[in-house]
Structure 1
Amino acid sequence: MRTGSQRPGRDRHRVAVLVRPGVMPMELGLVHQLFGYARTPADEPLYEVVTCAPEPGTIRTDADFPIQVAHGPRALEEAGTVLVPATHEPDETDGRLSGPVARALSHIRPGARVASICTGAFVLAAAGLLDGRRATTHWRSVPEFRAHFPHITLDPDVLYVDEGDVLTSAGEASGIDLCLHLIRRDHGTATANRVARRTVVPPHRDGGQAQYIPRPVPPEQSSSTGRARAWALRRLDRPITLSELAEQEAMSVRTFSRRFREETGQTPVQWLTRQRIDHARQLLEETELSVDRVAADAGFGTGASLRQHMRALIGVSPRAYRRTFRGRDEPAYD
């Protein structure tokens, strides 16, 4: 485990999910499924996921069935990661922290990372965990969040925000992106991709991608820009211009750019850069290629360009990234 939040002596990183009355079953289930599918190449589990509540017992959900929670807040004391999903309770966005939830949060040990899904961000904000940080929440709850917590920098247009030891995500589906991001942070792209493949979800949606897109991203076969994206993915090792992408769809550059953003929530340049970064990360994890060769194969041209883009997007150099996920050092000139 490389996250730094692993409790010494534990074989697996414990993820504790703190549920409250009115919890959304989908959010609870996706955490268990995604972290539960994260396994080593030898099929050994990488995480232990436990569900706890401020007061254990029967917990009402927002569906027509309850859940039985065996663990109380003391389960948080052993957790390296604490996740707070949303509820559909009327007081979810009133900006206050109930006594039982406040007492439960006091059990979180120093050094653990804390994350929220959807309006679970209101809990972290009310607890003071988002003071001085950026955060996000569901776009429909933005006015309430800003009214209650004007001192917190809220970004309503992204899928999730990673502030190191505190993370927030937007709506329910963004919780999938957040969990995959945490798995990727802990164990690398290959492990996160295996989890995504098993659950049949996109392996990576950048946290800065638009939270609300006017219409869902269609399959490549029916997308007006899907053919261009598929064409580009086969040619990441070479320069690709916006004109070339537009030509694949027989569109003007202006029309192609507008439709591309409508369908993906990103500009063509943003999307292409992210695909190149993802390809470079995979090569750094799974091959012995030099940084310069990785840069060339991913379409960045030079090692200096790759270093610049990796630092800008994920905050580390290629050398540091490889050392983290492969346990090997690189020459000093990297």
Structure 2
Amino acid sequence: MVSLQHDRDFDPRHGIAVEIAKAVRRLTAHNPGPFTWHGTNSYLIGRAEVAVLDPGPADAAHMDRLVAAAGEGRIAAILVSHTHMDHSPGARLLKAMAGAPIVGCGPPRAARPLNAGERNPLDASADSAHRPDRELKDGDTLVVDGLCLTAVETPGHTANHLAFALDEGGILFSADHVMAWSTSIVAPPDGAMSAYMASLARLAERTDTRYLPGHGGPVEDPATYVAGLAAHRRKREQAILDRLTAGAQTIPEMVATIYADVDPALHGAAALSVLAQVEWLVERGLVRCEDGSRDTPVTLASRLAAT
């Protein structure tokens, strides 16, 4: 089985636009945390005119730095990969400053229907006010400064997640779908494990040679790393099946064992990923209710999630 090796050698150089590829600079927002690590990476793509990808949270100081970094280059477009609060709210501030259209993912949406009484992570994590001027679908393109960016639909982390392929340099802006420093959280109903794994399989068929993610440093060997991510999720799935076979009745029980070596502060996020795995197991008929009924993934997963 392919092993997963994270790369956490990263200097965010907050406040500085760092050139990391031809006509590509990275400016990392100062919003560190357990899910953002050193902060959200905003990318400036182009020179004479610039597309700003993922302006980040609604941080006026970061918007000022993005405008300053663009310099004489006109900000022609504001690209958004997905609508988590650490990626998209800044787009509206930047639009007010630069007059550029917001382009990219559509408004937030759930990956599957909500169960009655289910708490919705979208309420806290999603930017419900996001409305792009132009919504991109898979294969749609945006040309800025002679550079062509192509939308690559990669649902899983969120239902509306987009990556963007640059037409030169073999670069894929992978946002939060693939990051070198950590695995991505997949939290139903915002995201879905079935979609996440399908998106990984899709990326595995591509020929991009370098990923520039939403947090942390580049992924320099995408093929190997994507294979490692898929193997890691399969290993987690087997661990869940093992715990269910051993008699585990709730997701917190499984998390305590499977994630025993993980900071307890992250167990809540781990529980959501386990929930996503359980839903996918039910979808494929690998897990079912004890009474043998054809229960929906939502109902079964919610029952297991109960403390």
- TM-score tier by shorter-chain length is 0.3 to 0.5
Q: Name the TM-score, length of structure 1 as normaliser.
A: 0.32
Q: Name the TM-score, length of structure 2 as normaliser.
A: 0.33
Higher helix share: 1
Q: Which has the higher contact order (CA 8 A, sep 6+)?
A: 2
Higher strand share: 2
